[in-house]
Amino acid sequence: MKRVLLPVDFSNNSWNAVFTASKLYREEQCTFLLLNSYEPKFVNILGAKSKERIGVILDSLAINSRLQLEKMLAYFKINNLNEKHCFETKSTANDLVKAITEALKERTYDLVVMGTKGATGAKEVYMGSKTVKVIKKVHTCSILAVPETYDLKSLDALVFPTDFKHEFKIAQFVLLKELVNVWKTKINILQIIGRYSLSGIQKMNKIWLNKSLDDVEHEFVEEPIWNNVADGIISWVENNKVDLIVLIHYRHTFFEQLTREPVIKRIGFHTKLPLLILN
């Protein structure tokens, strides 16, 4: 039995994320938790004299959250034709990251699936500020960010960019291999070619990865570096048919954070494909 956590705010993009998750696990016995968190930030602005008003507002937010979740649940009871799927709901007065973190502590989930609106305006808000915050803070579960216009029809091929600098772990690929086996997906392991050849450690990591994926279809491919790694990945994606981008989110040291290109953010902003973050 699979369990998928679905943070929802009742917008079109969160609905699309729910539909994408149900299609992704169409062949699996799966329980989906529709999680809505409402964070009354304005409460801190009101003075002590407004305590009664605060209580009324909080009650209103809680009631609306539960009503909207009940509407979603009623929709899936009528329209969900997949007998393998069931839906649960949870409403909580919390910020999104804390709500997700607490849900992951209460139960084990295979995946968190979130909708994202992508960039807005000239400031380039990568994948939406909420999605970025979740990716930065939540490290105990893999996360799938789904663009609001994405419509999952097939999962024939995916791209997994890597520089082979980090040691891979078997646990990192459990979810990925499960999806690949269900959908019969080809994994394109993409290396962005720079000025330097692979080091000894990188070569060993590449060999280990090749052996670990020997039971699924995969291929090593290369792309010349452009202005930066993210642009190289995007260039390859635009010239090849893939349905999903997969990245591993490593937690770097402070020095590495200062010097390393924010690949996950840049790709999330530029691509129209869903982004799977393996943690």
Structural domains of the chain in order of their starting residue, each with its CATH number: 2-147 (3.40.50.620), 157-272 (3.40.50.620)
The lowest-confidence range among 24-38, 166-180, 188-202 is 188-202
Q: pLDDT category, 272, cuts 50, 70, 90? A: confident
Q: CA nearest 209: which of 245, 248, 239? A: 248
Whether pLDDT at 240 is above 60: yes
The proportion of the chain whose per-residue pLDDT surpasses 70, expressed as a percent, equals: 80
Whether pLDDT at 69 is above 50: yes
Higher pLDDT, 122 or 264: 264
Whether pLDDT at 46 is above 60: no
CA angle 252, 267, 165 (to 5 degrees): 40
Produce one character per residue of 112-133: b if its CB has 16 or more CB atoms within 10 Å, e if not. Answer: bbbbbbbeeeeeebbbbebbbe
